[in-house]
Amino acid sequence: MKRFLLILSVMVLAATSVVAQDKPYMVAFWNFENLFDIYNDPETHDDEFTPEGIKKWNETKYQKKLSNMERVIFDMATINKNYPIVIGVSEIENRSVLEDFVAQPKLKGAKYRICHFDSPDARGVDVAFLYRADVFKLEGSDNIKLNVPELPNFRTRDLVVMWGTIEGEPFYFLVSHWPSRLGGKEASQFKRDACAKQIREIKDSLLKENPATKVIVMGDFNDDATDASLVKVMGAKGKIKELQTGDFFNPYYQMLKAGLGTLAYQDSWNLFDNICVTENLVNGTYGKLRLIKGKKFYGNIFTRPYMLQQEGQYKGYPLRTFVTNNFQNGFSDHFPVYIYIGK
């Protein structure tokens, strides 16, 4: 536990560091942990998140959840006094909850637009993007069904993609929430490997068509940055000196090696939340925009003391909305992650 809390203190300190750059653009991802509305959808398994459900999910709790999430995103924006230009999110029930979220008072100034598609996930949760149209000029978007050859009827979250330009340079964003470790890590690994393979194929196809396209992939991968699904299957390398043309770079690889993480389990940290970028954004091969390094890492994890459990068995863990069915008035079981791009 002492080592766990020591690592946590390093993470909190790192989150306060300001990147020495003239207002670079922040790109973020956050697992919103079960942001459901209060209404029952007969086509999904959302019953527990209704007033009649086991969690007694009601309008009061829902509004508290929205307000808590708003606080975090706003505080992230205060780091360099600029709202994130793109935020990938997971575990959101529908477009309606995102509309409620971006309408929160402290976020209205960002004028976020929404890129969302309904997924076939059995629980009814989706992934989506929020983006600032004043910076990211959207040209198109789509949802892509996850292809697991062994399970042709597998119901999970789609991949959501959008493409456009930032300062005239082509960008392609992909957000995904890989299948969980339900049933055990090894037994379920083929599902996450299938997602990693599909993402790599998408990236390779994009760069073949236009090598100048900067690809940014983010999400809750339910695997660590050092796992084979990311390193070998998706090809996300953790060291810049090892990058070759067309490779993915994962800035969270070295952060995990340093003991940092975004979610806690049995007094140890995992780093399932990653943002990977193509080599052309790291080395500035095309255009002027590139990945910006912080004081130590190219990736960042956002934490504040108010986002942490302050006492009890889970002291130092992310403060969740619920522990089992007990409302904690928290945020998420994951910390947000973010990178900077600039000149």
Q: What was the pLDDT predicted at 23?
A: 86
**Residue 311 CB-density burial (10 A; 0-12 exposed, 13-18 middle, 19+ buried):** exposed
Residue 89's Cα: distance from chain center in Å?
5
| Side-chain-facing half-sphere of 64: CA atoms under 13 Å | 14
- Identify the structural domains of the chain with CATH numbers, from first to last: 2-342 (3.60.10.10)
Q: Is the CB of residue 320 less than 8 Å from the CB of residue 331? A: yes
Q: What was the pLDDT predicted at 266?
A: 86
Q: What was the pLDDT predicted at 17?
A: 40
CA-to-CA distance for 215 and 238, rounded, in angstroms? 16
How crowded is residue 296: how many other Cβ atoms within 10 Å of its Cβ? 13
Q: Is the CB of residue 132 less than 8 Å from the CB of residue 85? A: yes
CA-to-CA distance for 267 and 315, rounded, in angstroms? 10
**What letter represents residue 235's amino acid?**
G
How far, in Å, are 100, 156, 189 from residue 198 at the CA level? Answer: 32, 14, 14
pLDDT in tens, 148-183: 999 999 999 999 999 999 999 999 999 999 999 999
CA-to-CA distance for 14 and 17, rounded, in angstroms? 5
User: Which tokens belong to 2?
Assistant: 């002492």
Query: In terms of Cα–Cα distance, which of 205, 218, 299, 197 is closest to 246?
Result: 205
CA-to-CA distance for 329 and 68, rounded, in angstroms? 8
CA-to-CA distance for 84 and 134, rounded, in angstroms? 12
pLDDT in tens, 283-338: 999 999 999 998 899 999 999 999 999 988 889 999 999 999 999 999 999 999 99
Residue ranges in the chain whose pLDDT is less than 70: 1-22
> Which runs of E-coded beta strand occur in 221-312?
236-237, 248-249, 263-265, 268-270, 273-278, 290-292, 300-301
Query: What sign does the dihedral 280-283-287-293 (CA atoms) show?
Result: positive
Q: What was the pLDDT predicted at 250?
A: 98
Q: What was the pLDDT predicted at 299?
A: 98
CA-to-CA distance for 163 and 176, rounded, in angstroms? 15
Query: What sign does the dihedral 166-126-191-141 (CA atoms) show?
Result: negative
Global pTM reads 0.93
Q: What was the pLDDT predicted at 3?
A: 54
User: Which tokens belong to 166?
Assistant: 């930032």
CA-to-CA distance for 196 and 335, rounded, in angstroms? 22
